[in-house]
Amino acid sequence: MGLIYRYLKVLRRVTVAAFAVTVIIAAIHFPYDVDAPLTPQEIEAARKYYTEAYRQPVSKNQAESEYETKYVRESEAMAKLYRVEEKVSAFVKRFNLGDRPVLEIGSGRGYLQDVAENYTGLDISPAVARFYHKKFILGSATAMPFPDDSFDGVWSIWVFEHVPNPEQAFYEMRRVTRDNGVLFLFPAWNSPSWAAEGYEVRPYSDFDLIGKLIQASIPMRSSALFGVMSLVPNRIVRNLVSRFGPTRLRYRRLTPNYEKYWVVDSDAVNSIDSHEGMLWFVSRGDECLNCEEPSVLMGFTPLIIRVHKNPSINP
């Protein structure tokens, strides 16, 4: 009997310690940030960076910039790996958008412009205009130059993690979509904070002691268990909050690296959780067409949202 009591005592202590660690990890990773006004310098830095990323060489013999060779090459490789064209084409076919007005936000080089006939691409970089044979509009995701209810379908692939005020972009995305229109939303959910400095690809010798500790922690912080401990408690809290009306979009603000493109999302400015994105739309009366229950365990897949505009609910 005494042995069982000791085991139970140890088990209780371990459980309390595990709970305390989970609470601490969740608190550290809570999405504290919301949209804040941008400075003109921040806006200009982003615009300049993405213009350079798609810069056209002056002559055929001139070497392309590092931005163009690495940024574009890795973007295209990721698109093939994740079968982006296949998924967006399936989205267009499923919702009969082939000849309906559709918009791509952050359309880049127009890789997807032929998946639908009545296509419009929107991008912040003027340098990409030369890649289009369909309609291209220069503009920001946070202030789109379109009237309300302009499109039956809208999609955005790996863009919102690069938008300094993503909630404003969500508002705009929803505003330009017609009632009962559909959205295909696929940011790089939960962008890691260590991507900006390339911890995953640089040698230990590049860093000071703190940098070495950060690099050594990445395997643990990338694990499934750590993900559950950091995300699920916060998702439960945010689920409860959403019951009381439309939520703010909460995320973790990141410091982008506009000098060196070490890895994918070195230039990310925020880290948005897919569950948080889903709650933002659903709490406004929209419908997630591919969300499984329980939602607190949802993965980082694209969100397919049907917009239901209700004048009694905030836009």
Give the tens place of pLDDT for each residue, 287-315: 999 998 899 999 999 999 999 998 766 55
Phi and psi angles of residue 290, each rounded to the nearest 5 degrees, phi first:
-130, 20
pLDDT for res 123: 95
Exposed, middle or buried: residue 244 (CB in 10 Å: 0-12, 13-18, 19+)? exposed
Q: Which two tokens stand for residue 9?
A: 């005592």
The mean pLDDT of the chain is 87
DSSP secondary structure code for residue 127 in this structure: G
What's the angle, vertex CA 47, arms to CA 148 and CA 181, rounded to 5?
25
C-beta separation of 189 from 274 below 8 A: yes
Q: Which two tokens stand for residue 279?
A: 């709650």
Which has the closest alpha carbon to 155: 179, 189, 191, 182? 182
pLDDT for res 295: 92
pLDDT at 45 over 80: no
* Residue-range domains of the chain with CATH: 31-306 (3.40.50.150)
Which tops the pLDDT comparison, 310 or 130? 130
pLDDT single digits (tens) 178-233: 999 999 999 999 999 999 999 999 998 999 999 999 999 999 999 999 999 999 99
Which residues, in sequence order, are bridge partners of residue 182?
Answer: 153, 306
pTM listed for this prediction: 0.87
pLDDT for res 66: 53
Distances (CA, A) of 186 to 65, 154, 236: 28, 11, 22
Which has the closest alpha carbon to 113: 157, 158, 54? 157
